[in-house]
Amino acid sequence: MLLKQAISCLCRNNLYKNPLLKNYSLIATVLKSQLGETAEVKGWVKNLRVQKEHIFADVYDGSSAEKLQIIIPKALKTDTLTYGSSVNITGKITKSPRGQLELTAEDVKVIGQCIVMDGYPFNPRTAHPPEYVRQFLHLRSRTNYISAMLRVRHSITKHIHDYFYERNYTHIHTPILTSNDCEGAGEVFKVEPDNEETIKAMMQEGKNRETVYFGKKTYLTVSGQLHLEAICRGMGNVYTLGPTFRAENSRSRLHLSEFYMLEAELAFCDTLEKLKLTIEDLLKYIFIETRNTNEADLFLLDKNNKAPKWLDKNFVTVTYEEAKNLLQKKGKNASEDGLNKDEELALVEICQGVPVFVVEWPKNLKSFYMKESTSNSSMVDALDLLTPITGEMVGGSLREDDYMKLKHKLPSDSLNWYLDLRKFGNIPTGGFGLGLERLMQVVCSVSNIKDTLPFPRWPHNCDM
C-alpha cells in the first residue's frame, strides 16, 4: 500500500513539474494569486482602452467568467494588438484602485492577430442578441455569454457523474447506432453508408439497400433505455449520458435534432415513489452544486439569476386526470392527447413555479415498455416532470415486467431480446430520461435551447 502511494505520488509530482505542462498561468488562478508575483497568461483580448500612458486590455482565456485587466505601457503596444487578437503576456500582479487584481505587463506578444475589419462579427463591450451570435457558431465561444454557458454545462456534467458515482451507479456507454426505435414515435434518423461502391459490393450479397450494411434497418438512437435495461439486469443501477437524436419537425425553442440525454435505470425499483425521489434529489443536487461551482457564470448569464424558490420545497405530484381538471378550472380546454406545451407551463404556474410530477398516464399516450398500473389496466405507471421555462424536462416510468403483457405490446419481433430479459432472472426496474439542454435552460434561465450547447442542430440547420 505504502509503495503504491509512493509511486503514484512520484508520478504526479514529476508530471506536474514538467515545464511542458505548466508553462503559463490560467486567469482563474491569477485572479487568486498574491500581489507582486510574476505571471504569464495566454488568452484573447476582448476590449482595449487607450489612455495617456497606458493601454488597458481585458483578457479572457476561458478559465473564468471574470476578465483579467492588463495594464500595458504604451511602448509595448504594436499595431496587431487589437480586440479579438490572441496574446501571450507576462507581467507582475498588481492591484487596481478598486481593489481588483490585475497584471502590469512587462512583455506582450500577439500570437494571432484579429483582422477586425475583415468580418470579425463581435464588437467590444457589446451584448449581441443570441440570434445574431448563433449565425457565427465557429466564433461563438469568444462571447462571454456562450463561454459562461459552456462552463456551466461542463460543471453540470461533472455533478451528474459525481452524483451517480457516489451512489454506486455504473456509467454505461449505450450505442449511438441502433436497430430499435425505443420510443416508437417515428422520430428516428436512418443510417446508411453514403458510398455507392460499398453499397454495390454489399448488395451483391443479396441484401436490400436499407439493410445492406448491418443486415437490418439502422438508426441513430432516440434513447439508450432499452440497452440500459439489459445491462441493469446483470449489474444493478446504471446510467448513461450521451447524444440522442430525434427527427422531429419542430423548430421550437425547446427542441433539438441532437441533444444529450441523461438516462438512469434503477434496479429493483417497484414504485414510482422511488423514481420520483431519485429525480428530485438529483435535480436539487445539481442546482446546489452548480451554484457553488459557477456562481460568477450564472451571474454573467442572468444578473437576476437566484437560487430557485423551490429548492427547499417538495416537488408537487398530480395524476394526469387531476392535471387536466386543474387546467380546465383555469379555462384551458384540455386537449385529449396528452399535455401540450402551453398546458405544461400553465400547470407549473398553477403549482406556483414548483416542479410538478404528472403520474398515472393513459396507456395509449405512452410507450410500449411502460408498466400497466396494478389498480387500472388502462393506465401506466409513468411520470413526466414539468418545470418552469421548459415544461417537460424528464420522462420516466416503471418498466413492464410481466412477460405475457410485454409480449402483447412488443412493437416488433426484432425486440425479442428485450422480451428475453423478462425470462432470465428478471427484476422490477424503473428509469427516466432527462434532457440535459432543458436542464441547462432552467439552471441558466435561457429561453432558447439552441444557446445551451456549442453546435445546435435543428430542422434546416446543421452548420459546421
Greatest Cα pair distance, the chain, in angstroms, is: 84
Nearer to Mg ion, 355 or 395 (CB): 395
CA–CA separation, 171 and 264 (whole Å): 9
Give how many residues touch Mg ion by CB under 5 A: 1
Q: Which stretch binds Mg ion (CB under 5 A): 108-116, 312-320, 388-396, 455-463?
A: 388-396
Nearer to ligand 4AD, 67 or 371 (CB): 371
For residue 49, give the C-alpha cell.
482602452
For helices 272-293 and 436-444, give the axis angle rounded to 10 degrees: 50
Out of 84, 338, 395, 396, the residue judged to bind Mg ion by CB under 5 A: 395
CA–CA separation, 86 and 25 (whole Å): 15
| 169 contact choice in ligand 4AD, Mg ion, none (CB below 5 to 8 Å, kind-dependent) | none
Out of 219, 259, 368, 418, the residue judged to bind ligand 4AD by CB under 6 A: 259
For residue 371, give the C-alpha cell.
408498466
Q: Does 371 bind ligand 4AD (CB under 6 A)?
A: no
Q: Does 395 bind ligand 4AD (CB under 6 A)?
A: yes
Can you say whether the dihedral through the CA atoms of 237, 241, 246, 252 is positive or negative? Answer: positive
Q: With beta carbons less than 8 A apart as the criterion, state whether 133 and 143 touch.
A: yes
Least distance CB 180 / ligand 4AD (angstroms): 11
Least distance CB 327 / ligand 4AD (angstroms): 19
Give the DSSP H or E segment for 419.
Answer: helix 416-420
Q: Does 338 bind Mg ion (CB under 5 A)?
A: no
CA–CA separation, 232 and 410 (whole Å): 20
Q: Residues 226 to 255: which contact Mg ion by CB under 5 A?
A: none
CA–CA separation, 387 and 429 (whole Å): 25
Can you say whether the dihedral through the CA atoms of 294, 300, 305, 306 is positive or negative? Answer: positive
Nearer to ligand 4AD, 146 or 269 (CB): 269
For residue 14, the tally of other CB atoms under 10 A from its CB is: 9
Least distance CB 262 / Mg ion (angstroms): 14
Place of cell 502590469: 104
| 393 contact choice in Mg ion, ligand 4AD, none (CB below 5 to 8 Å, kind-dependent) | ligand 4AD
End-to-end CA distance of the chain: 50
Q: Does 57 bind ligand 4AD (CB under 6 A)?
A: no
Least distance CB 261 / ligand 4AD (angstroms): 5
For residue 427, give the C-alpha cell.
427484476
Q: Does 188 bind ligand 4AD (CB under 6 A)?
A: no
Q: Does 237 bind ligand 4AD (CB under 6 A)?
A: no
Q: Does 433 bind ligand 4AD (CB under 6 A)?
A: yes
**Which residues here bind ligand 4AD, judged by CB under 6 A?**
182-183, 223, 225, 246, 248, 255-256, 259, 261, 263, 392-396, 431-435, 437-438
**Which residues here bind Mg ion, judged by CB under 5 A?**
395
